[in-house]
Amino acid sequence: MRTLLRPHATFLKLRWPLLLAMLAGMLLVQACEESSDDVSLPRITPTSVKLSAAISDQIVFTVEGGKPAYTWQVSQQGLGFIVAAENTAIYTSFAKSGQNFITVTDANSNAVTATVTQQ
């Protein structure tokens, strides 16, 4: 005696690996979306500043996002210096012309840079 499979039973037997792969893919996408919401990259404000090279001046930078603790750096120490505390830094320019870059790096090594143009 021959047993006939029902059409839906045959479909499930033949498509089981495909269905399993699709389910795994959906779970992976959902997991990635959830984890990406937990991690943000640092953002620096302002991103670009123009200062007079005729005088010494100051500008306040702030960082949001990322993972504390933050480290701040200035690329051209001959043009100015930075004093930082947590998510805020004050850049003081010297009366010199040039371009300086203020970089803040978070605990995950994600960095963002602002530009200071002194002219």
Which pairs from 56-59 meet CB under 8 Å and 24+ separation?
56/92, 56/93, 56/94, 56/95, 57/92, 57/93, 58/90, 58/91, 58/92, 58/93, 59/90, 59/91, 59/93, 59/116
What are the tens digits of pLDDT across the range 16-65? Answer: 565 566 666 666 555 454 444 456 999 999 999 999 999 999 999 999 99
pTM of the model: 0.68
What local confidence, expressed as pLDDT, does residue 37 receive? Answer: 47
Q: How confident is the model at residue 9 (pLDDT cuts 50, 70, 90)?
A: low
What are the tens digits of pLDDT across the range 96-117? Answer: 999 999 999 999 999 999 999 9
